Amino acid sequence: MAVLLTPVVTLPVVPAASRRRDLSCWLAFVQEAFANVPGRGWHSRVVWQRVAGWRSRELSSFEPSRMATLELAALLHDIGRALDPLDLSPHGFVGAQFLDDLGLTDIAPLVAHHSGARLDAAARGLEHLDRWESADPELQALLDYADRTVNSRGQMVTLAQRREELVARCGEDSAKTARFDLLLPDALRTEAWLATLS
């Protein structure tokens, strides 16, 4: 009988409670957590860099604490992929549970629902795993847009380029491509909004 073996996940030591909002600690954590799949680590880091790049111009009117929430969510948005490498649950929810347990309750909902996690959960009949209220819609839109414009190797790309890569990897008729297309109008709206702020 085939037995599904869940890999033992060894995560780096999480930052101490006093440094739990310290981006530099989490940068090291993410790099180590994705040591076996460095592209994922780069993707996370560059999604954060994309968001941080808006700090002094497009998002200069944001409260520093709100900006800090967005930046940490950007860096940690895919951490569920390191915790659940077999992708047994929507990775946003896995990451959100981890962050909730660490007391990062403002980051968790953004991570839980990034880039259409609810659609992924619905497709798999796993909606019951969603325990998070939707967070700040502006921050969610910005996180999702940043995620959509950094490819799986950590390069900044346009929405069109990201879609091309997705089609090449998963196929035009794949669920991932369908989800990308469903969320594309939101991403285009966010892109246009950012352009008005620059």
Instruction: Look up residue 14 and give its two tokens.
Output: 């999480």
Bridge partners (DSSP) of residue 150 are 156
Contact between residue 117 and residue 92 where contact means Cβ atoms under 8 Å apart: yes
Q: Which CB sits closer to Fe ion, 73 or 129? A: 73
Q: Tell me the C-alpha distance between 51 and 145, whole Å.
A: 9
Residue among 66, 33, 70, 35 nearest 51 (CA): 70
Show contacts of 99-105: CB within 8 Å, 24+ apart.
102/14, 102/20, 103/17, 103/20, 104/20, 104/21, 104/72, 104/76
Q: Which residue is nearest to Fe ion (CB)?
A: 147
- 104 alpha carbon, distance to own chain's centre: 15
Q: Which CB sits closer to Fe ion, 60 or 174? A: 174
Q: Which CB sits closer to Fe ion, 67 or 75? A: 75
Shortest Å, Cβ 11 to Fe ion: 18
Binding site for Fe ion (CB under 5 A): 78, 147
Shortest Å, Cβ 196 to Fe ion: 25
Q: Which CB sits closer to Fe ion, 78 or 84? A: 78
Shortest Å, Cβ 78 to Fe ion: 4
Q: Which CB sits closer to Fe ion, 17 or 150? A: 150
Shortest Å, Cβ 102 to Fe ion: 20
Shortest Å, Cβ 43 to Fe ion: 6
Contact between residue 59 and residue 193 where contact means Cβ atoms under 8 Å apart: no
